């Protein structure tokens, strides 16, 4: 049974619902373009955003609460990622990418910030007093979704720590040595992907210098 929502509440839900549908449709379009041009792309939104937008527009109680928490979770995750990223990604490689691939680098940064701002806006809209009053569960607190923020922060820090340890361990050093044998001297190296099982492993190593960036796939 739907709560008795006021006109202000319905206006907010329809506004956010339409925004999510448009956002998801754009994401689906980008994904299809990348698939057609064999460009690596991954996203957690696309169809999920469209479906959530439709149910928000219709005022479905479960989706109102779920999208509020999900938006808060992703905002927290993106903010933690910004703090963790410099410890996992070499600063000099970032500067070289900015010089050699300015459009892609700046575009990626703008997209990440834009998505974070959009999700923050979604969370703020769904925390509007009219929406909270209509959709808060009886007997439950109607405060901000701090638990979602905390879970995102814990997950981001934990994942960052594990990735950092794996990309700086003996296996990563072995991958760099194999990449160095293929590229020669004069490059600096950063492991961007690493997987292994027993004595077998596979890694993607970025070899870079001031005038070039190469991606080297190695196996052992």
- For residue 63 the two structure tokens come to 């989706």
% helix / strand / coil in the chain, to the nearest 5? 65, 15, 20
pTM of the complete model: 0.79
What pLDDT score does 156 carry? 83
What pLDDT score does 134 carry? 85
What pLDDT score does 40 carry? 75
pLDDT digits (tens, 9 = 90+) for 51-66: 999 999 999 989 999 9
Cβ neighbours of residue 34 under 8 Å, at least 6 residues apart?
Answer: 40, 41
What pLDDT score does 137 carry? 65
pLDDT digits (tens, 9 = 90+) for 115-164: 999 999 999 999 998 998 888 765 455 567 778 888 888 888 888 888 77
Q: Report, as ranges of residue numbers, the positions in the chain whose pLDDT lies below 70.
A: 1-4, 137-143
């Amino acid at each position: 049974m739907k709560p008795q929502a006021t006109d202000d509440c319905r206006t907010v839900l329809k506004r956010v619902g339409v925004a999510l549908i448009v956002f998801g449709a754009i994401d689906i379009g980008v994904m299809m373009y990348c698939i057609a041009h064999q460009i690596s792309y991954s996203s957690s939104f696309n169809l999920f955003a469209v479906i959530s937008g439709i149910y928000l527009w219709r005022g479905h109680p479960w989706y109102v609460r779920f999208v509020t928490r999900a938006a808060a979770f992703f905002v927290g995750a993106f903010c933690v990622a910004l703090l963790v990223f410099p410890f996992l990604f070499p600063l000099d490689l970032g500067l070289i990418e900015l010089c050699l691939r300015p459009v892609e680098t700046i575009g990626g940064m703008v997209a990440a910030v834009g998505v974070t701002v959009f999700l923050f806006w979604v969370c703020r809209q769904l925390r509007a007093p009219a929406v909270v009053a209509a959709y808060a569960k009886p007997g439950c607190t109607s405060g901000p979704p701090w638990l979602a923020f905390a879970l995102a922060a814990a997950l981001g820090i934990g994942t960052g720590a594990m990735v950092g340890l794996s990309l700086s361990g003996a296996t990563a050093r072995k991958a760099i040595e194999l990449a160095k044998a293929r590229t020669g001297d004069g490059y600096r190296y950063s492991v961007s992907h690493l997987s292994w099982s027993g004595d077998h492993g596979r890694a993607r190593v970025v070899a870079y210098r001031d005038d070039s960036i190469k991606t080297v796939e190695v196996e052992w």
